Amino acid sequence: MKISLITSTYNSGQTLRDTIESVRSQSYSQIEYLIIDGDSTDNTLDLIKENLDIVSNFSSEKDAGIYDALNKGISMSTGDVIGILHSDDVLAYPEVLEDVAKALTASNIDACYGDLNYVDRADLSRTIRTWKSREFDRNLFYSGWMPAHPTFFLRAKHFDTLGSYDLSFFTAADYELMLRMLFKNRLKAVYIPKVMVNMRVGGQSNVTWKNRWIANQEDARAWVANGIDAKWYTRWLKPISKIGQFFG
């Protein structure tokens, strides 16, 4: 089983080395690592070219944002399974991709996901909060639940048949994609009860309250776009559900 891992970059020179090294440290051997760069002007391309022993393929050109870059990576990938590793993030331990491969061994399982640590930007060993997930139940989407997107791995064939990231969404294309795959189309997922990714704090949808409000509006639109009805409380429970991440 080949696992394609996609990293989108733009002027990511300060953090990309950590990301690449976490891929290099993986014990699993069947990895296709793709880096899609948005025409960086810092040392990002130098870092990529220094690591072509682990980077299987890369491109560098202007794009329409992170989701556009991820779609380019998906179209370039040749793996059986596709996952996303942002340029601020690192795989949390050397057996992450081994665990993904084991989780997807069963032919009736379409996706897997795990837990996520939000960590200090300068000190990756300092955990700010933890996104602890739970066993999969599609109806949990009604209560505001979703898998942690950076830990989400999906069989590649579903991108072909059900589509990639919807570029009409500014910050919630990841939520819309998982809602479409797991809820609307009833794909089966399995939970890996481990912290799979360490994510530096400061993600786009959470930088400001304004961005968080935009993301909340987009979350609601994701249900409409898929022609499915959320509960009246779904939109509000999603941000509330994150409060527990601050308490171990």
Nearest to 199 by CA among 124, 96, 132, 145: 124
Domain boundaries, the chain: 3-246
Nearest to 16 by CA among 201, 42, 29: 42
Residue 203 confidence (pLDDT)? 53
Host H or E run for residue 74 = helix 66-76
Residue 234 confidence (pLDDT)? 85
Nearest to 2 by CA among 73, 97, 75: 97
Topology of the domain comprising 3-246: Spore Coat Polysaccharide Biosynthesis Protein SpsA; Chain A (3.90.550)
Q: Tell me the C-alpha distance between 161 and 164, whole Å.
A: 9
Report pTM: 0.92
Residue 112 confidence (pLDDT)? 98
Residue 221 confidence (pLDDT)? 94
Q: Tell me the C-alpha distance between 150 and 86, whole Å.
A: 7
Q: What is the mean pLDDT of each run of 10 residues along the chain (248 residues)?
A: 98 97 98 98 98 98 97 98 97 98 94 97 94 96 94 98 96 96 98 98 60 79 94 73 55
